[in-house]
Amino acid sequence: MEIYWVLGIPIAGGVFLALWGSRRNAPEINALVSMLTFLAAAMLTQRIIEQGPMMVGNGWFFIDSFNVFLVTLTAFVAFTTSLFSRPYMRIEKEHGRLNDKRLRLYHSSYQVFIAAMLLALTTNNMGILWVSMEAATLATVLLVSLYRTPASLEAAWKYFILCGVGIAQALFGTILLYFAAEKVLGSGGTALLWTQLNGVKAQLEPTVLQLAFVFLLVGYGTKVGLAPLHNWLPDAHAEGPTPVSAVLSGLLLNVALYAVMRCKVLVDGALHTDMAGNLMMGFGLLSVVVAAFLIKRQTDVKRMFAYSSIEHMGLITFTFGMGGAVASFAGLLHMTMHSLTKSAIFFAVGHATQKAGTQVMDGIRGLIKTNPTVGWGLMLGTVAILGVPPFGVFASEFLIITTAMHEHPWATPFLLTALGVAFAAIFGRVQPMVFGETELPRLPHMPALAPVFVHLGLVLMLGLFIPPYLAAWYRQAAQLLGG
């Protein structure tokens, strides 16, 4: 029942904003719709905690502990981002970079995007999963190019084409999956339902599933930003408006990885080998290393943090590839932490770049003097994402490294080096931005930075103490993932 609210509210919001999004209070409506979505998601979570996994709508939707926590996370970050985007987009309009028509497109696409992601998370049908992933991409293409600068158009084009090619591979993987499933489950809609597939996964043809997983990993992995298919990510995340960067980095990457994980569970059951896990470890490790070494060369702050997203998603992919209870737990925890922290960073960066009028890092200095809240927000966020205790990212990274040392010691030097290099690079860049010398005076108005500190506060809290129900939740989800 709640699922229909969770999906229906953003869709209705999207339609409403498509028609009336040019009004002056469109940002407030956007925030209101997002809040209602979050409340519906919270109610859904409550129901799942009480009743356990459930299928809704005659098998169309399936909610278990793995995706319900992602649903809540998505709805929450969407809500806080909409709060951040309220004043941010207003100021962008004042600066002349946007007009009412584009804001209408922005607001309605935002809601449609959230709806598509929530559909991808809750659907039971692997085909509909594909459809909603592609829909999520389509909803954001025009958002990336919102500023109509040459760079943003190029970024949006690369995003569309590269993700399109990737998703076509994923479609082929889905076809192969259906092909294997049809033999066991018969043709018709039931053969693509994940719950059914999970039940018969031992009977699915191994060779076909192997091939299918390769295509699915390459396809959905392009959307996760795994190297060497990551080319579109820095551009798309850097050139769009900051709220779009925040939801792309914080949410879409998670949903794509969720799709990969659902497939991995099926493939592991059919293959009884570690092929899926090994592939994921390989791609994940490659992404971490590639991203870490490319961070040093960045001059644009949003691009730098986009590479940081690639690095963290690579780390999570590596973790899930390792498999096992602890690793899966760590992976889920890291997904949460990364979402919250990265979006917080983007909020702070957004305000900083808006004030400074440039995204180039050399052009931003001394935030602590001109705007202490932004300065502190950025500093704390950076420190958090780099894995400094007591923030939550440290806890998950610690678990990941120790598990790696235990089971795959060969990977640990790579991981540690990459994390270290990234630490040095990012910290070295952010430090002058926050504490550097500047002659600019302190700015008059206070930006709305509540979302930043709420996120960071959550991350800090989870780093110090994970509430028991949350821990149980993660453990349940980890078990589902084959822990």
The pair of structure tokens assigned to 392 is: 């939550």
Q: Are 28 and 114 in contact (CB under 8 A)?
A: no
Among 52, 189, 199, 228, binds another protein (CB under 8 A): 189
Separation of alpha carbons 165 and 171, rounded Å? 10
Minimum CB separation of residue 141 from another protein in Å reads: 6
Among 19, 24, 186, 188, binds another protein (CB under 8 A): 188
Instruction: Mark the segment that binds another protein (CB under 8 A) among 5-13, 194-202, 241-249, 291-299.
Output: 291-299
The candidate with the shortest Cα–Cα distance to 395, out of 476, 334, 318, 458, is 334
x/- string (CB under 8 A) for another protein, residues 363-392? ------------------------------
16 Cβ contact partners less than 8 Å away, ≥ 6 residues apart:
29, 33, 108
Contact call for residue 157 and another protein (CB under 8 A): yes
Q: Are 239 and 155 in contact (CB under 8 A)?
A: yes
Separation of alpha carbons 270 and 210, rounded Å? 9
Instruction: Kindly determine how many residues on this chain lie close enough to bind another protein according to the rule CB under 8 A.
Output: 50
Q: Are 349 and 378 in contact (CB under 8 A)?
A: yes
Helices then strands, counting H and E runs in the chain, come out as 20, 2
Separation of alpha carbons 415 and 318, rounded Å? 10
Separation of alpha carbons 440 and 442, rounded Å? 7
Minimum CB separation of residue 207 from another protein in Å reads: 6
Minimum CB separation of residue 82 from another protein in Å reads: 23
The pair of structure tokens assigned to 140 is: 């954001």
Separation of alpha carbons 278 and 282, rounded Å? 6
Minimum CB separation of residue 321 from another protein in Å reads: 25
Q: Which is nearer to another protein, 148 or 406 (CB)?
A: 148
Separation of alpha carbons 289 and 194, rounded Å? 33
The candidate with the shortest Cα–Cα distance to 118, out of 160, 175, 78, is 78
- CB-CB neighbours of 205 under 10 Å: 16
Contact call for residue 360 and another protein (CB under 8 A): no
Among 44, 176, 233, 270, binds another protein (CB under 8 A): 176
Q: Which of residues 117-156 bind another protein (CB under 8 A)?
A: 125, 127-128, 130-131, 134-135, 138, 141-142, 145, 148-151, 153-156
Among 28, 99, 161, 406, binds another protein (CB under 8 A): 161
Q: Are 358 and 301 in contact (CB under 8 A)?
A: no
x/- string (CB under 8 A) for another protein, residues 243-282? ----------------------------------------
Q: Which is nearer to another protein, 179 or 435 (CB)?
A: 179
The pair of structure tokens assigned to 70 is: 């992602």
Q: Which is nearer to another protein, 112 or 458 (CB)?
A: 112
Minimum CB separation of residue 107 from another protein in Å reads: 17
Q: Which of residues 295-354 bind another protein (CB under 8 A)?
A: 297-299
x/- string (CB under 8 A) for another protein, residues 202-231? ---x-xx--x--------------------
199 Cβ contact partners less than 8 Å away, ≥ 6 residues apart:
none
Separation of alpha carbons 381 and 378, rounded Å? 5
Q: Which is nearer to another protein, 281 or 294 (CB)?
A: 294
* Side chain identity at residue 442, one-letter code: R
Contact call for residue 456 and another protein (CB under 8 A): no
- Chain contacts with another protein (rule: CB under 8 A): 125, 127-128, 130-131, 134-135, 138, 141-142, 145, 148-151, 153-158, 160-161, 164-165, 168, 171-172, 174-176, 178-179, 182-183, 187-189, 191-192, 205, 207-208, 211, 235, 239, 294, 297-299
